[in-house]
Amino acid sequence: MSIGKFPKDFLWGGAVSASQCEGAYDVGGKGLSTADILPGGKTRIPLLQYAKPALATVYDYYPSHEGIDFYHRYKEDIALLAEMGFKAFRTSIAWSRIFPKGDEEEPNEEGLKFYDALLAEVVRQGMEPVITISHFEMPLHLVKEYGGWLNPRVVEFYERYARVLLARYRTQVKYWITFNEINMTLHAPFIGGGLIIENDDDRAQKVYQAAHNQLVASARAVIAARELAPEAKIGCMLAGGPYYPQTPNPEDVFAAMAMDRQNLFFADVQVRGSYPSYMQRFFRERNVEIKITAAEKEILRRGTVDFVSFSYYMSHVATAQKQSNGVDGVLNLFASAPNPYLTKSEWGWPIDPLGLRYTLNQLYDRYQKPLFIVENGLGAKDQVEADGTINDEYRISYLRDHIRAMQEAVEDGVDVIGYTPWGCIDLVSLSTGEMAKRYGFVYVDRDDQGKGTLKRIRKKSFYWYKKVIATNGQEL
């Protein structure tokens, strides 16, 4: 049986984000960010949506404050990734390192110096940096003083920040992503949009107005990139994963389409440059009124992206029946009915490789833009054996099945440009703040209380992925 061949310059690599790995939360003039006030453990998940208690509480432990100390150990870490043969490395820049409060006129030179050095190292090791401008953190000051993304002034601050990055790194960075999982503003308004939602009465109004401001900001960054870094490719990014209908009942089938549209709406705007017509009725029926000026319409029209990137962890199930706030699985922020055909991870996330092929086909049919899978992976507990090895066969098996699905999509004719699995080196979980939920090829000795030597250990999957890259995906 023929298997899809990946293009010769396919971007094999891995992904992390600043607030989940760097640590050094108050070093080099960095300001406090939204990620820095979140605790670990069970109390964290509701805070991603309703963050008010986090602003008023002092917790014993904040996982982002030290992360995995990537800030001080990045050379060693990048060398490990280079040893696997990485062609690309995706990370984000911490906005609060560059503009500690967010509303300053001038950037913090010390913060920029850190990324000068980091990017130089990534390039020196032969990897293409893939940079997310905003990945689930923003200066806390912008939340407290301006109300986060609800305030159009934040669009200006973001553009100023994006312009600094685009101008400074135009020669090192070709691939830029404006916002990580921009649709997460709907599902996790605090971490996605810096929003303090107190009750659900005006939630739709707030999240969609904030999302609109982010869409305008994204388009402004694209326009700035055309001017400042004309060689750059700039993309949008979705939390991907399709909704399947629970039954062939047309009501369920339609519900699945409606749920998909809630997420695809963002890319519809970022790729096509205007709001899709289906949103008019959606807003009207929810009494949502988005203020869109003529100037903003023009910005959206001009600021369309070069590629579409997405994370893929799971598929979801839609039903026309009302869900009881619908959170299935322990820690999945997307409403979903259970899918009896799929097994689940230890954290209750359904495992569905075919859903990746489905998503790739769906997005390519819809947009005909190059696609980039910038996150995928299995969060699992790892065991260090007495001889110091880590035999993470379960992770290999998950990734193998997903890479096969990606190969099938290549055979289907989809233009996939790269694959950067999530948390290539173990890091702090976004949803739970745990270290125990590990994704990496490289193990980091640190636990959920922040104890451990921070020593790095190559897992079995490290050697496996190295071979996958060396054979351009032919040996799995």
- Which of 59, 81, 54 lies closest to 456, judged by CA? 81
**What does each C-alpha distance from 170 to 230, 292, 299, 362 come to in angstroms?**
8, 31, 22, 32
- Which of 31, 238, 28 lies closest to 118, judged by CA? 28
180 binds ligand BG6 (CB under 6 A): yes
Q: Among 268, 352, 375, 392, which residue interacts with ligand BG6 (rule: CB under 6 A)?
A: 375
Q: Among 36, 121, 181, 448, which residue interacts with ligand BG6 (rule: CB under 6 A)?
A: 181
375: annotated active-site residue: yes
Which parts of 319-370 are beta strand (E)? none
Compute how many residues bind ligand BG6; rule: CB under 6 A: 14
Q: Which of these is catalytic: 66, 296, 375, 434? A: 375
Which letter does DSSP use for residue 139 in this model?
B
Q: How far is the CB of 278 from ligand BG6 (least distance, A)?
A: 25
State how far the Cα of 48 lies from the Cα of 54, in Å rounded to an integer. Answer: 10
382 binds ligand BG6 (CB under 6 A): no
Torsions phi, psi for 254 (to 5 deg)? -70, -40
Which residue's beta carbon is nearest to the bound ligand BG6? 431
Q: Counting every residue, how long is the chain? A: 476
Tell me which residue has tokens 């003083």.
145
Count CB atoms within 10 A of the CB of residue 285.
8
328 binds ligand BG6 (CB under 6 A): no
Q: Among 12, 70, 99, 136, which residue interacts with ligand BG6 (rule: CB under 6 A)?
A: 136
State how far the Cα of 24 lies from the Cα of 28, in Å rounded to an integer. Answer: 8
Under rule CB under 6 A, which residues in 41-80 are in contact with ligand BG6?
A: none
Q: How far is the CB of 364 from ligand BG6 (least distance, A)?
A: 22
Q: Select 422 or 443, whichever has its Cβ closest to ligand BG6.
A: 422
Q: Which of these is catalytic: 22, 66, 121, 181? A: 181
3-state helix, strand, coil in the chain (%, to 5): 45, 15, 45
Q: Select 131 or 255, whichever has its Cβ closest to ligand BG6.
A: 131
Q: How far is the CB of 434 from ligand BG6 (least distance, A)?
A: 8
Tell me which residue has tokens 């705007």.
269
Contact mark string toward ligand BG6, 418..457, x via CB under 6 A = ----x------xxx-----x--------------------
Tokens of 437: 């939920």
311 binds ligand BG6 (CB under 6 A): yes
Q: Among 219, 236, 239, 373, which residue interacts with ligand BG6 (rule: CB under 6 A)?
A: 239
CA atoms within 13 Å, Cβ hemisphere of 319: 14
The binding site for ligand BG6 (CB under 6 A) comprises 17, 20, 136, 180-181, 239, 311, 375, 379, 422, 429-431, 437
Report the catalytic residues: 181, 375
